[in-house]
Amino acid sequence: MSKRLSHRAWMAILLGALVGLIPLRFVLLNALPRETADEKRLWLLAASALLVIAVGLLFALIWLALKDIQQIGEQYRKAHREAFEEMTEQIRADYRRRRERERGSKNGAE
């Protein structure tokens, strides 16, 4: 009975996580000491890990945005197709009625 989240909900979560990385970066990178070579390596490792996480979140956000655009396009095409088919059926029905009237008026004139 699990309910799946929509693409837009996931995009909001990812955007929140991406924005949340900004203060995390300031806190984490300012808290790490940078005096010795080992401390600098640790600082660079933490900075690169945060960068990789940010890029991963950004790519996931872009992918979800593209999937949402694709889903909107499919819904639009489906609605357009249904409206077109309904309009075509109405035109065919009008044409049939007009032909029947013309046949009826020709038969009545003879």
Whether 2 is covered by a domain: the verdict is no
Distances (CA, A) of 74 to 70, 77, 78, 80: 6, 5, 6, 10
Whether 30 is covered by a domain: the verdict is yes
Beta strands in the chain (DSSP E): none
Whether 1 is covered by a domain: the verdict is no
Binned at pLDDT 50, 70 and 90, residue 74 comes out as very high
Whether 70 is covered by a domain: the verdict is yes
Whether 40 is covered by a domain: the verdict is yes
Q: What is the pTM of this model?
A: 0.69
pLDDT in tens, 89-102: 999 999 999 999 88
Domains held by the chain: number: 1
Whether 85 is covered by a domain: the verdict is yes
Whether 27 is covered by a domain: the verdict is yes
Structural domain containing residue 42: 7-109
The pLDDT score that the predictor gives to residue 109 is 60
